[in-house]
Amino acid sequence: MIQSMCIQSGELVIILGDKIYFRGKFFKSLRFRIMLLLIVIGIIPCIVVGQGIISNYEKRAVSVRTAEIQNQSTMLGSRLGKAGYLKGVPSETLDAELAQLADIYSGRILLIDDEFQVVKDTYDMEEGKTIISEAVMECYEGNNTSEYDSKNHYIEVTQAIQDPNSGQTEGIMLVSVSTDSVVDSVDVLHSKAVAVEIAVGVLIITISFFVSALLVRPFGRITQAIGAVTEGYDTDNLHENAYTETMLISDAFNKMLGRLKILDDSRQEFVSNVSHELKTPLTSMKVLADSLLAQEGAPAELYQEFMEDIAAEIERENKIINDLLSLVKLDKTSADLNIKSENINDLLELILKRLRPIAVQHNIEVVFESFRPVIAEVDEVKLTLAISNLVENAIKYNHEEGWVHVSLNADYKYFYIKVADSGIGIPEDAVEHIFERFYRVDKSHSREIGGTGLGLAIAKNAILMHRGIVKVHSKEGEGTTFTVRVPLTYIA
C-alpha cells in the first residue's frame, strides 16, 4: 500500500509498507544532483547534435535541389531563347521538355513575356494573365533568383530568357518545385534520431544512476562512520581518502573527535577532582568528630581545638562550593554578560581597596599605576572576579614584605592590566597548567593559604567571555606577571 502525505515542514513523504522515504531529501542530495548533471551533459548535446545533423541535411538537400533546378532552367531557357518560343514560334519538343521538367520535380513552370503576361503554364491555369512579382522584377533587372519556402515546402527559381542575337531579356521562366520528398526524408531521419536519442537517454540515465552511487559512496561511508561514533559504537578515527574533499572531512572530523576525547577526559578528571576536593574536608571532619566521640571526658580545650578545626574544614568546603558555582556561571554563554560602559580606573581602585586588608595582614605593599583614564564596555561583576583572583593570588603567594604592582594602560583598541608580584614564582613546567581546574603548583602550600585550585580557571573564563586574553610570565623564586588584554568595545 502506498500513501503520500505532507509533514509540518512541507516535505513530501511517501509511505511504502513500513518504510518511509523523504523525497525532498533525495532531490536535495548530492547523488541526485550528480545524476542530473550527467543526464544534462549527456542528453542535451545528443539532442543538439541530432537536430543539427537533421537541419544540415535539410539545408543540403534543398541546396542540391535548387542547384539542379537552376541548371535545368538555364539550359532550357537558352533553348527557349534560341527557338524564339516567346515570340510565338511553336515547338512541340520544347513543350514536352517543359512538361517533363515540371513532372520530374512535381512542380510548375510559367513562361512570362516582356509585358508580364503568362505565355505558357504547365498547369494551363494562368495563361494570358499578368504576373508582376518582386522575383520577376528582379530577374528582369538581370538577377536570377531562387527562394525556399520552408512553410509551404517549395522552391521558386526565376531564369531570364534572352534573345541570343541582341542579348535582351525577352521573358522570364518561373519554376516552382515541390520539396515534399525532401521533407519526407527529413521526417524519417527525425523519427530515427528520436529513437536513437531515447535509447541514448535511457543508457545515460542508467549509467548516471550507478556512477552517481559510486561517486557518493565515500560520503556514505563517512556518514555511517560518524553515525557509529555518535551512537557510541565506535571511537576510531576516520580514514576516507577517496577524494580530497572526503580526506578534508575525515581530518576535520578526527580533529573534532580528538577535541571531544580531550573534553571527555577533562570532564572525567574534573568530576574526579571535585569528588576528591569535596571528600577531603568531609573526611577530615569525620576523623575529628570520631576522635572526639572516642575520648570520654575530654577537656573543653580539646573540644575547642577540634571544633575550630572542623569549622575551618567547613569554611574550606564552602569556599570550594562557591568557586564551583562561579565556574558554572562562567561556563554559560556570553549572552549572560551584563555589558556596560565602566571606568576601569575606578574599578581597579575599588578591587585593590577591598584586598588591601589581606595585603596588610601578609605585610605586602600594593601599588597601583594608571597611565591614562580608561572607559570600556565590560561586565563589572565578572571582570572584578577575574582581577580579584589575580591580585589575591599575587598577595597570598608572596614573600613576607613583598610587593604587588598593578598597572593600567590602553591603546585605540584594547586596555591592558598587568599584575606583577615579587612572590614565589611558578616552575617552568607548571606554567602551561596553571589555568586548569584544581591544578596546584604546591598542594600543601595552597591548602595552608586556603586555595582551591579554581581561582585562575575562574579568572581566565571571565576574561575569555570578554573576548580578551591572559598571558603569564614567571620565574621561580623571583615572581610572576599576569598580563590581561580586553577590547575597549565588547564584540558580541
CATH, domain range 276-330:
1.10.287
Locate 390 and state its grid cell: 589575580
User: Is CATH 3.40.50.1820 the classification given to domain 68-185?
Assistant: no
420-459 per-position pLDDT tens digit: 999 888 888 888 878 776 666 655 444 444 455 677 887 8
Sign of the C-alpha dihedral computed for residues 200, 202, 205 and 207 taken in this order: negative
Homologous superfamily of 334-487: Histidine kinase-like ATPase, C-terminal domain (3.30.565.10)
Q: How far apart are alpha carbons 78 and 392 in whole angstroms?
A: 122
Q: How far apart are alpha carbons 382 and 329 in whole angstroms?
A: 10
Q: How far apart are alpha carbons 262 and 256 in whole angstroms?
A: 10
- Taking the model in full, what pTM does it have? 0.50
Q: Contact at 8 Å (CB) between 274 and 256?
A: no
Q: Contact at 8 Å (CB) between 161 and 81?
A: yes
Q: Quote the pLDDT of residue 290.
A: 78
What residue type is 394 in one-letter code?
A
Q: Quote the pLDDT of residue 403.
A: 94
| Residue numbers of the chain with a pLDDT score lower than 70 | 1-24, 232-235, 266-267, 269-281, 284, 316, 320, 323-324, 326-335, 437-453
Burial class of residue 319, CB neighbours in 10 A (0-12, 13-18, 19+):
middle
